[in-house]
Structure 1
Amino acid sequence: MLPPRSVLITGASRGLGLEFVKQFLQVPTPPEFLFATCRNPDNAKELQEVAKSNSSITIMKLDVSEMNTIEEAKKLVESKVGDGGLNLLINNAGINKRVTLDTVTPDMMLDTFNINVNGPLFTTKAFLPLLLKAAISSTPSNPSSAIVNMSSIMSSIARTVTSDAVEYRVSKSALNMLTKILHNELKDKGIHVGCLHPGWVQTDMGTAKAPVTVSQSVCGCIQVMSNMNAENACVLTDYTGNPLPW
């Protein structure tokens, strides 16, 4: 998959998303176009600092729960990439309210599902014409167009032995199903679709107790993306490249 000419990352203002921006700038052939999107670009101070010295970065407003921002971002990306299309979409934005059966509410479920499932679905749908343009030169062993959904081991039905984070677990399991549906729809059109478990990472969501640093996680995820092909694309994979049970 690597090096992609163009990359779009949702939720790029902090955590894994911000680290993806930083590390894509460090690959041997960095993207010509690196679209870093977030809900509030004006508040993304660290991202803005990174962008100051890197002309390839375009910071854009994209709230995955608001269709108008997705459509506006798509128009801007299209104006920049032209006929080359978009090579890589990383659906990274997500939330975890960490609620239990006792504390979960209907609104919590709807809000989490809207961001963690509807967000990747409708972001992908909006950018699909650009991904298809990039897919023209794809081959089974070397895709030029891909979608990567950031999932979690907490999505795994086989591995679930606790009852915590009800809304997060359910939404990420649904994201896995979306990944499979997108794979079935797009595999013959040159677009590879995968989902990654980044590990238990030291982010605001993962907390400082997590054993994996943001740098370690993203470095591993990019390596997994670089080895994506028709055989291993639609597999829940961790950041070290190990397949995980659905």
Structure 2
Amino acid sequence: MSKVYVITGANRGIGLALATELSSQGHKVIATARTPETATKLEALRNVSIVQAEMSDLKSLPRVIADIAALAPEGIDELWNNAGASRNAGLVSDIDFVKYHEELAINVVAPGAITQGLLPLLRKKQTRKIIFISSVMGSGQIASSIIGNVLKGVPIPVTEDFLRMSSYCSSKSALTMQAIGWNGALFKEGFVVIPIHPGWVRTDLTLPEATLSVEESVAGLLKTVGDAKPVADLVLLNYNGETLPW
């Protein structure tokens, strides 16, 4: 049966791959893009409607929510809070806190606002799934261990530079925490809330050493989300369904 999906940040990378796969399955996809006029690959997909959204502009989000609602009066099955940004690199003592503010707006506040605004439409359906694309980089357990090792002289792993990505890491930690809050608010209504790490995926924002293609990541994400049921004790999931420390 065809479903209605909302995917934020779908003009490239994981978001585009999600929209591509879901539209090919015949589902209706409402995708947000910062600059729809340049989202040519997204625009070429069948069953996809594009809504312009700049996630750092929080005052514009009521309009974004209204635009999405106009395209899905029958309701929304799944909301994929995928849009994210990494605006800072370097030690926390050296980062630009204006950019950090923007990063938190995009990675933490905007997903919450979009979720809150679309709740009436999510309640119209029985699927009731809300996905937050988080990251293992938000794991306090892993960050503390790796930074501790670095301070003892162990080289920084190329895959997990928690020391120089502190603002991004803290934003993803906050996003996972927010997901736990949403689960607490919506669990009794049968909602499935999923904070999930997409894996280390090869995109234009990552290193070429990244181990997963976007197609591999999306296949895992869709299976894990498809299998997910409401749970009282929320955990951070990996794209392949494994539980990650947080």
Question: How does the TM-score come out when normalised to structure 1?
Answer: 0.87
CA distance in 2, matches of 1:195, 1:35: 20
**2:114 counterpart of 1:131:** no
TM-superposed CA distance for 1:78, in Å, is 2.4
Which residue, 31, 39, 46 being the options, matches 1:44?
39
**CA RMSD of the aligned region, Å?**
1.7
> What amino acid does structure 2 have at the position aligned with 1:242?
E
Change (3 A) 1:44 1:63: same
Which residue, 129, 132, 135 being the options, matches 1:149?
132
CA distance in 2, matches of 1:109, 1:173: 14
Which residue, 65, 74, 77 being the options, matches 2:68?
77
TM-superposed CA distance for 1:70, in Å, is 2.7
Change (3 A) 1:111 1:238: same
SS of residue paired to 1:58: strand
CA distance in 2, matches of 1:233, 1:124: 20
> What amino acid does structure 2 have at the position aligned with 1:43?
T
Which residue, 73, 94, 109 being the options, matches 2:100?
109
Q: Deviations over 1:166-209 (max 9, x none)?
A: 10000000001100000000111222111110111101222222
TM-superposed CA distance for 1:102, in Å, is 4.2
> What amino acid does structure 2 have at the position aligned with 1:38?
A
Alignment of 1:78-93 (within 5 A): 78-82=69-73, 84-93=74-83
Residue 140 of structure 1 is matched in structure 2 by none
Identify which of structures 1 and 2 has the higher relative contact order when contacts are C-alpha pairs closer than 8 Å and 6+ apart: 1
Which residue, 1, 5, 8 being the options, matches 2:6?
8
Change (3 A) 1:102 1:192: same
Which residue, 49, 62, 69 being the options, matches 1:58?
49
Give me the identity figure in percent: 29
CA distance in 1, matches of 2:77, 2:107: 22
Check the 8 A contact 2:33/2:53 in 1, yes or no: yes
- How many residues matched? 228
SS of residue paired to 1:241: coil
Change (3 A) 1:49 1:177: same
Q: Deviations over 1:121-150 (max 9, x none)?
A: 11111111111222xx3xxxxxx1111000
SS of residue paired to 2:210: coil
Q: Deviations over 1:201-226 (max 9, x none)?
A: 10122222211111101110011110
Check the 8 A contact 1:192/1:233 in 2, yes or no: no
- Which runs of 5 or more structure 1 residues have no equivalent in the other structure? 138-143
Residue 19 of structure 1 is matched in structure 2 by 17
Alignment of 1:144-183 (within 5 A): 144-160=127-143, 161-162=146-147, 163-183=163-183
> What amino acid does structure 1 have at the position aligned with 2:134?
S
Residue 141 of structure 1 is matched in structure 2 by none
Check the 8 A contact 1:99/1:165 in 2, yes or no: yes
CA distance in 1, matches of 2:13, 2:44: 15
SS of residue paired to 1:100: coil
Change (3 A) 1:232 1:49: farther
Check the 8 A contact 1:149/1:195 in 2, yes or no: yes
